[in-house]
Structure 1
Amino acid sequence: MSYKLKQESISSFSAATAASICTEFFAGKNKITGEAIMGLTEVRQVNSFIIEALFTQWQSEMARLRSPYFDFEAEEVQKALKEFMNSLSNHISIGRGHLEPLLYRAIEATILLTFAPKKFLLNLWFDEKKENLPKGKLRYIKTHTEGFQLLFETAKTPINPAYLGNMFDSMGSHFEIPLPFEFLQKLKSEDKLNLLFEEGKTVDTKPEVVIITETKETPEVKSSVAAKHENGKETINDRFNEASHTPTLAEKLKKNSTKSIEKSLTINERIMFSKTLFEGDQALMSQVLEELDSAHSVDEALAKTQPYNKKWDVEGDEMEAFIQVLKRRFN
């Protein structure tokens, strides 16, 4: 059965689903922590958009910290504020009344991003009203990540709706639409399938997906393709040049992913992480990385850093680089 997204039903679906999730979570609880938000739903994108909303709110509140009597731009003050922000981010505490609207909007945005990524992209541009796409948004996009990263890095200024639409159409093969039922299962809302989708019509998928699913391949070939491409797609070049294929950088990194995290670090990464994340303590870094090797996913590895990351700048370049190392190891 094929389906088409009912965009007019996104709001009502999101409201009902947010209420259901909150009812389940707050049964016997009064508050939710930041750590719990990261695992609130099985849809990582929803959780990420909630965190983005909290960070945006925090930035807004910090911007109001101005006074004619004190210099908030002084280097020492800025450093103290940054440390305060990092500390406060580890003490998130939200009641249902404030979480539910955040969750509702996060589900709305996630559905649009997942099943109508072109519409999401255009809405993003209209909301920002800028000539450049907001690259800071990428850190919160966990669905169609490859496609959006390619769009954001390729887009030339000035951008406009027509230009963005044409760009998306040229890169459409990077946006593979998931099965609606499987997506709704993760939100425990599969009973609302008919509310959100119309039967008998095709979701905005691309021909490339159909070609792949109809291709008959042996288990050995599938295994080989999956090993070479993290998104599971096989290109035409792969099919006709299997024997003479030259490993790409991504493939080499993939082969190295079985190494321990510490052994996979470059010299620059080793110095950067030791200095900024572990305060120059090489022994502590080795101990933590060894613990992370026992994880089975990026999320599990990040959870294992909780005892050590109280002073980490979650929005800093070092943290972004650290997450990329974990993705290299576990994805």
Structure 2
Amino acid sequence: MSNKFNTNALNEYSKSYARRVAADFYHAHTTISGKQILNLTPIQQVNLFVVSTLFDKWKGEVEKFRSPYFDFSNPEVEEALRSFMNVVSQHIAVRREHLEPLLADATRRTLIALFDPRFYYDDLLRNQPDFTLTADSLKHINRYTQVNKLIPMTLEQKMNGRPFVYVNQALGFLDEILTQRAHDLERPEKYIELFSEKVAMDLSTLLRGQVAENYAPTAKSFFDLDEDAPKQSPVLVPPPPPAPVVQPVAEQSALPDSPPPSDDDVHTSGTVAINGGAYQADPTAPANQPNVLSTNAPAPTMSTSASTPTVVPEGVATLGDSLQKASGSIAKSISLNQKFRFINQLFNGSAEAYNEAIAELDQLTNYGQALDLISYRYANQFMWNMESDEVSELVEILKRRF
């Protein structure tokens, strides 16, 4: 095993990641197809490792067809067997209990290939049959490798068309590649973010002390401008609506009638300078402002609810917050009819088991924990059909709750 990892932490993380991915997918599906596996996770290498393992298992199953009583080298038999394999391969259908172990192993292999490529490829080469690396085997490795693909590609170049090389020679090639192309190897940081979208990755637990420090984020100076950061476009803020001017009746009657503002005046009064300029000061009210009968009456206010968003001061509870808090208890979100259906259909008629489950779900802090709890404990304990209406309704309630 790679000495860069804490073995128990690596295995536990791989299983946790596989459980979460499988729970999310099999919530709405009974089986998974080959095309769906290729898009199962955002980390393409994990998906490819799963498909590669399925391919190896499929080859092993086909070998069982061979019998000493039949000539499998006959061209017609070979063609029929090849056609059969191709047809069946287009109808991959894997249930959760069979996929999850493959997914955990693919996750573990991906992490080793990322953080310790030397160990990963050294182990891969040493396990080749007859201590020989064939061109066909390397082609298969290349096909299902996405992380640090330059390593198998360069190995293929160094074989220079030979049908095979012995593993000790391939290990020499590997050492040359890792020495000369170390700066071209992929950094794990972007993959850490992708893994953490499902299950948070703690490098201090996953990796041994000194190794974890190599991937710790370093402090960045304010003056180190990020040239790759997307440029922010200037935001044009519409000018505030002009406040109505209240004048005494006597003054307004003395003023001559003013012509209505022209289109040019309207556009000019609302001009915004993009490069640091300000709005024109003191916008004036339209000349055809209606008269006000009494100067003692309060000044009319203009409603901006249709165009100006309301800013809620920090710390003030909104209506959405109040509604969310009101629906904080899962039990309160379940109607009486749903409660009886859940008890009868999901908990085998046991109201006590139902109440214990709801109480435990109420103690959780996020949707992922709740989904794992019902998927792994209650679904197995009470043999749920994950496609039933009752399970779907319960999941929707949990989504609203969290």
Deviation at 1:20, TM superposition (A): 1.4
Name the CA distance, whole Å, in 2 between partners of 1:155 and 1:173. 23
Deviation at 1:5, TM superposition (A): 5.6
Distance 1:193 1:23, change over 3 A: farther
1:89-138 per-position Cα deviation (integer Å, ceiling 9, x unaligned): 11111111110111011111111112211111111012225232631211
SS of equivalent residue, structure 2 residue 22: helix
Question: Which residue is 1:238 aligned to?
Answer: none
Judge which range, 131-140 or 157-166, deviates more.
157-166
* Letter of the 1:141 counterpart: T
Question: Which residue is 2:185 aligned to?
Answer: 175
Q: Residues 165-314 of structure 1: matches in 2 within 5 Å? A: 165-179=175-189, 181-185=192-196, 188-197=198-207, 201-203=213-215
Preserved contact between residue 122 and residue 165 of structure 1 (Cα < 8 Å)? no
Preserved contact between residue 5 and residue 203 of structure 1 (Cα < 8 Å)? no
Q: Which has the higher contact order (CA 8 A, sep 6+)?
A: 1
Q: Residues 1-331 of structure 1: matches in 2 within 5 Å? A: 6-8=5-7, 9-128=9-128, 130-132=131-133, 134-135=137-138, 136-154=140-158, 157-160=165-168, 163=172, 164-179=174-189, 181-185=192-196, 188-197=198-207, 201-203=213-215
Name the CA distance, whole Å, in 1 between partners of 2:11 and 2:4. 12
Deviation at 1:194, TM superposition (A): 4.3
Name the CA distance, whole Å, in 2 between partners of 1:91 and 1:69. 29
Name the CA distance, whole Å, in 2 between partners of 1:175 and 1:158. 25
Deviation at 1:12, TM superposition (A): 1.5
Distance 1:119 1:197, change over 3 A: same
Name the CA distance, whole Å, in 1 between partners of 2:109 and 2:63. 25
* Letter of the 1:19 counterpart: R
Unaligned runs of 5+ in 2: 217-223, 229-402
Name the CA distance, whole Å, in 2 between partners of 1:191 and 1:146. 26
Per residue, is there more helix in 1 or in 2? 1
Preserved contact between residue 47 and residue 106 of structure 1 (Cα < 8 Å)? yes
* Letter of the 1:158 counterpart: Y
* Letter of the 1:159 counterpart: V
Preserved contact between residue 45 and residue 143 of structure 1 (Cα < 8 Å)? yes
Of all paired residues, the percent bearing the same amino acid is 27
Preserved contact between residue 33 and residue 91 of structure 2 (Cα < 8 Å)? yes
1:29-54 per-position Cα deviation (integer Å, ceiling 9, x unaligned): 22111111111101110010111011
Distance 1:28 1:192, change over 3 A: farther
Deviation at 1:62, TM superposition (A): 0.9
Question: TM-score of the superposition, structure 2-length normalised?
Answer: 0.46
1:237-281 per-position Cα deviation (integer Å, ceiling 9, x unaligned): xxxxxxxxxxxxxxxxxxxxxxxxxxxxxxxxxxxxxxxxxxxxx
Name the CA distance, whole Å, in 2 between partners of 1:155 and 1:38. 30
Unaligned runs of 5+ in 1: 205-214, 220-331
Question: TM-score of the superposition, structure 1-length normalised?
Answer: 0.55
Greater radius of gyration (CA): 2
Deviation at 1:144, TM superposition (A): 1.2
SS of equivalent residue, structure 1 residue 149: helix
Distance 1:89 1:115, change over 3 A: same
SS of equivalent residue, structure 1 residue 70: coil
Preserved contact between residue 30 and residue 96 of structure 1 (Cα < 8 Å)? yes
Question: Which residue is 1:327 aligned to?
Answer: none
Preserved contact between residue 126 and residue 167 of structure 2 (Cα < 8 Å)? no
RMSD: 2.9
